[in-house]
Amino acid sequence: MLGVIDLPTYLAGLVLIVLLPGPNSLYVLSVAARRGVRAGYTAAAGVWCGDTVLMTLSAAGVASLLQANAVLFGIVKYAGAGYLTWLAVGMLRAAWGMWGTRHERAEESEAAETPVVEERPYRRALVISLFNPKAILFFVAFFVQFVDPGYAYPALSFVVLGAFAQLASFLYLTALIFSGTKLAAAFRRRKRLSAGATTAAGALFLGFAVKLTLASA
């Protein structure tokens, strides 16, 4: 089918990979829980655009360049880890503020949370996606296994594989977004729950940063 080999195996592997938790999906869930469905889809759009760029770069052979050039790989790796750390610190600071004000009046809590309006979910999600060299390497390592080397139009094969990947991502992130909006009501009622969830998200982002720092090409 258009130069794609063993499509059922690819789809099975894709489902498992999409369901693995990562900084992209966690950020989308966090945005949806804090700001609702529209903001959640805005963040998801950043993920989809970032993934599209990575797939295009992979098809163009940029991933192979990263894999062969340790210095370039290190620059992208540490830049990505630094950005994830910055996000984690912001989440932990917000959580600290929630813990300190959880017994205050609702009006004061809302005033304390107003800076969140300045957040740009699309841009943040896009940067999180792009500054992940392991994702680029993954796309190449996974995709090439299902492209027929004898097919005359390999770019078309990558488009087909990428379309299935984006469809799986859309369905998964949509489920997370609507789950997040349900969590939002509980977060608004219980400030302690909101503070705990934000603390956990910040800690996970720190973990992602450390994992990325330790990654090798």
| 164-192 residue pLDDT tens | 989 999 999 999 898 877 766 655 556 66
The C-alpha angle 118, 42, 31, rounded to 5 degrees, equals 60
The pLDDT of residue 140 is: 62
- Are 66 and 136 contacting, i.e. CB atoms less than 8 angstroms apart? yes
Low-confidence ranges of the chain (pLDDT < 70): 20-21, 61-69, 72-73, 76-77, 80, 83-84, 87, 91, 94-95, 97-118, 133-138, 140-142, 144, 149, 183-198, 201, 205, 208, 211-212, 215-217
The pLDDT of residue 98 is: 61
Dig out the tokens for 4 from the structure. 């794609």
Token pair 């903001």 in the structure block, residue? 39
The pLDDT of residue 45 is: 96
How far is the C-alpha of 173 from the C-alpha of 48, rounded, in Å?
Answer: 10
- Are 24 and 125 contacting, i.e. CB atoms less than 8 angstroms apart? yes
| pTM confidence score | 0.68
Counting beta carbons within 10 angstroms of the beta carbon of residue 28, is it exposed (0 to 12), middle (13 to 18) or buried (19 or more)? buried
The pLDDT of residue 113 is: 45
| Helix ranges restricted to H, 61-119 | 62-68, 70-101, 106-112
